[in-house]
A and B are shown apart, each in its own frame.
Chain A
């Protein structure tokens, strides 16, 4: 008599050593003698560093402002003394200086305007990340948003008081420089990339020399050129604003890098697409705008986000020609005020966090987008 199981037997549970916490530890930390050694080294290193960091950041840190209200000198004195005694981070620096670090020298009463500008720009960036909104109206929306931001910051109309660009600073300046650079450098980069592949010798030579020259020199030298040479090349009666000069420098710089990214995209388009467009009787511009560029932009977006991150980080270089972006306001917050000068770490930490949030966010987005746009099978 045979015993026949008509139902499959339930599979046996994995051994305890391969599941749960033990399994995870075994697989990820102690899978071989060498791995065990590495784990021990890492744990020892963290054991040495982490308590100090936690103490500095949280346990020994000083928060808030001490001392009598209204007496600024006495308040500073007592707060700084308390910070020095506690020995940890002095987050009171933020309580005192956060408005300066975010908005720079912008008049106190008008600081809702840069705040609104920042929110508008960040909102536009977030909206532009959503694929459903990649429509022609987005370009119009960007142009409108830029105009609104500019009017908000500058004032002088609609009852807003005029604020000269020399008072602009902090986060709105950083965001504004980056956004303006991308908005103007991208079309310029596309034009340069198309020119580089043109069959007109003069145009191709011009574009190639521009791209290669700009990419070979550091941004500082371009900024120097924009701030020292541009005025010399202009007629005497025309003076260009310092901020605008820096902005032009960054745009000229970013355009060359964007052009190379777009060129990579152009090279990725199969020859058949050009031939098909020609066979349809499309003119050069029709073929470029209706057939080639839509495909180019799609493959170029992930590396373009990389270039945008680079431009965002590079905008901090305007410190060197004396503009007050968020890095410079953080620096001035502690260095121009002697009692606060020992607390450089806190100020740089805040600036680093701001840059990190934006750059890391964008790089994660670009990785997600790369997977999302990858429609290959």
Chain B
């Protein structure tokens, strides 16, 4: 920083000594640093080339086109062991993003609820949630993952004796099976209807806001919003020629077929990430709400706002400014922590990359690819959250 060292102008007054001139000195220090870094980089790179030639490992990304030859148990896009390493990497990336995204949504919902419950006036609620937060925060995520995995694989029955809590839902040590909608024409009619309903609802909300801003008259928003959405879906369903078919999971051989399969590994990783992260988010929410000045609540009450409205319109918007930055880093932690799935066999990016590394020996390329993907995801997350943060930031005159 400028204030830590003298400026160049002061130094030039005493240019008698070359070394005492800050400009030259900083140039020399930087040149030496550059030489040191370049020298060690050259040394390491030459070692690498020698080592790789000795082990007969080619350098480059050509291996991505080769046949992978390993199966991936959990994939959203179609993948077989005949596909290339490149495609396997893609499956890994999608899996990482998939489990992170679902965990982030669930952890936020649970974290906000627990954070609010931590501030409850009820002694039992306050202390039970405190126990949850402290226990989850202070035990390594990896241990929690091992525990959930052991619990689910040991305690749940095999596919043949699967638990069947609701019709169409099966829970066994092979995973959770849920019914799903068949993606035929009926499904698209429903989707289209919902989209039309959503557009109408958004227009209604926009209009209500505009009317309130210009005249002060308040229109009902919440219930019309729900009604339009539901009506859109219903009309789409009724208009569809064959109706909607539901794909029910059914026991075939040793495992279930049909429906959506949520594998045990995915389920464990998700539970672990959600419970662990929600504890951290709960603490962010709690400290955010506590950071809002007490006078704000009092001012809202004296304006005659009812409790829920004062929370929603006065406290929460101000608390959000405190909550968002640390929660952003929690979201990035979820993406990074999802790499622990490798320990319980979830085929995420690190797991696929590790398998590829073991099979091809292309350690430099595999690890660089893994790091590059995480770097991009982290950057994208922080860009998105910075944009959101700017949109809720305090607008000053």
Using a CB–CB distance below 8 Å, which chain A residues touch chain B? 28-29, 31, 35, 38-39, 42-43, 197, 199-203, 206, 213, 215-221, 224-225, 228-229, 231-236, 271, 274-275, 278, 284, 287-288, 309, 313-314, 316-317, 319-320, 327, 331, 342, 344-345, 348, 351-352, 355-356, 359-360, 363
Residues of A within 8 A of B154 (CB): 342, 344
One of A224, A284, A344 near B350 (C-beta < 8 A): A224
The answer, yes or no, to whether B379 is at the interface (CB within 8 Å) is: yes
One digit per residue, 1 when the CB lies within 8 angstroms of any chain A CB and 0 when it does not, for chain B 111-140 equals: 000000000111111001000001101111
Q: Are B146 and A236 in contact (CB under 8 A)?
A: no
Instruction: Name the distance in Å between B174's Cβ and chain A's nearest Cβ.
Output: 19
State whether the Cβ of B299 lies closer than 8 Å to any Cβ in chain A. Answer: no
The answer, among B4, B44, B370, for a CB contact under 8 Å with A274, is: B4
Give every chain A residue within 8 A of B34 (Cβ-Cβ). 202
A363/B138 in contact, CB under 8 A: yes
Known pairs A42-B125, A200-B26; A217 contacts B336 (CB<8 A): yes
A231 and B55 alpha carbons, distance in the complex (Å):
12
Number of A-B contacts (CB under 8 A): 169
Chain B residue numbers with a CB within 8 Å of A202 are 30, 33-34
Cβ-closest chain A residue relative to B373: A217
Nearest Cβ distance between residue B372 and chain A, in whole angstroms? 9
Q: How far is the CA of A29 from the CA of B50 in the complex (A)?
A: 72
Q: Mark B313-333, 1 if CB is under 8 A from A, else 0.
A: 000000000000000000010
Bitwise interface map of B from 13 to 41 toward A, beta carbon under 8 Å scored 1, else 0:
00000000000001001100110010000
Known: A348-B150, A355-B138, A363-B134. 17 other contacts (CB 8 A): A29-B122, A38-B124, A39-B125, A202-B33, A216-B378, A217-B375, A221-B374, A224-B354, A229-B363, A232-B52, A233-B48, A233-B51, A235-B47, A316-B143, A345-B147, A345-B150, A351-B143
Interface residues of B (CB under 8 A from A): 1-6, 26, 29-30, 33-34, 37, 44, 47-48, 50-52, 54, 120-125, 128, 134-135, 137-143, 146-147, 150-151, 154, 332, 336-337, 339-340, 342-343, 350, 354, 357, 363-364, 367, 370-371, 374-375, 378-379
Interface of B is mostly: helix
Check A221–B147 contact: CB distance below 8 A. Answer: no
Residue of B at shortest CB range from A284?
A: B5
Establish whether residues A38 and B47, one from each chain, have CB atoms under 8 Å apart when the complex forms.
no
CB-CB under 8 A from B44, the residues of chain A are 233
Shortest distance between the CB of A290 and any CB in chain B (Å): 13
Chain B residue numbers with a CB within 8 Å of A327 are 140, 142-143, 146
Query: Top 10 A-B pairs ranked by shortest CB distance?
Result: A359-B138, A28-B123, A216-B378, A218-B336, A218-B339, A313-B140, A344-B150, A274-B3, A316-B140, A42-B124
